[in-house]
Amino acid sequence: MSKIVVVVGSLRAESYNRQFAQALTRLPAAAGHDFVFADIGELPLYDQDDDADQAQSVKDLKELVRSSDGVIFVTPEYNRSIPGVLKNAIDHASRPYGDSAWAGKPAGVIGVSIGAVGTALAQQHLRNVLAYLDMPTLGAPEAFIQWKDGLITPEGTIGEQSAGFVGGWLEAFFALVDRHQD
Ligand code: FNR
């Protein structure tokens, strides 16, 4: 069983990405694994002056990531990049220099947008960041999800048209995690 941290890049109460992330954890491929959602909305704005005395919410995020076997980033696309709240969280847990919580953690990148681009450009920016942070990131399959009726069922599961594809993505992510177990 793996412990996976899920980082959702939207704070919106009815976030499609959060709904999708929760549905992802209910797929058959998720069975037996432990998913913990990171609370990035509680983090202060990153300020390098605080590196020597990080806020408790930052310490908690770093401890959560360190205790995990991998991280799934589920992010919207904002203006063709990742939301500031997600970058803020990533920056916090990467510091102080030499004490990043992200290094070596296998990562999956997926996201939902209302546009046909399906967060492709945000994901590409995020991949660049994760490469610098030394996070081995699932390369294929890519998953660019457009929000549409039926993507999430009233029961909060992935709809039947997408469940097979998303389930395959999750299986590929767990294979990546397995390849990077100590
Ligand atoms: C967006 N949205 C958007 N969509 C997209 O496909 N490409 C983009 O570049 C953007 N840019 C963008 C900027 C900002 C500031 C906002 C608020 C929104 C629309 C976006 O896909 C939509 O709001 C989603 O519903 C956001 O995801 P959550 O919050 O529902 O998870």
Give the pLDDT score at 115: 93
Q: Grade residue 146 by pLDDT with cuts at 50, 70 and 90.
A: very high
Q: What is the DSSP string of 128-152?
A: HHHHHTT--B--SS--EEE--TTSB
Q: What average pLDDT does this structure show over 129-154?
A: 98
User: Percent of the chain scored above 90 by pLDDT?
Assistant: 98
Residue 155: count other Cβ atoms within 10 Å of its Cβ.
7
Summarised one tens digit per residue, pLDDT across range 35-64 is 999 999 999 999 999 999 999 999 999 999
Would you list the domain boundaries of the chain?
A: 3-179
CA of 114 to the centre of ligand 1 (A): 7
CB of 76 sitting under 6 A from ligand 1: yes
Is CATH 3.30.40.230 correct for 3-179? no
CB of 15 sitting under 6 A from ligand 1: yes
Summarised one tens digit per residue, pLDDT across range 104-136 is 999 999 999 999 999 999 999 999 999 999 999
| Amino acid code (one letter) for 111 | G
Pairwise CA distance, residues 122 & 176, whole Å? 22
> Mean pLDDT of all residues in the chain?
97
Bridging pattern class, strands 107-113 and 144-146: parallel
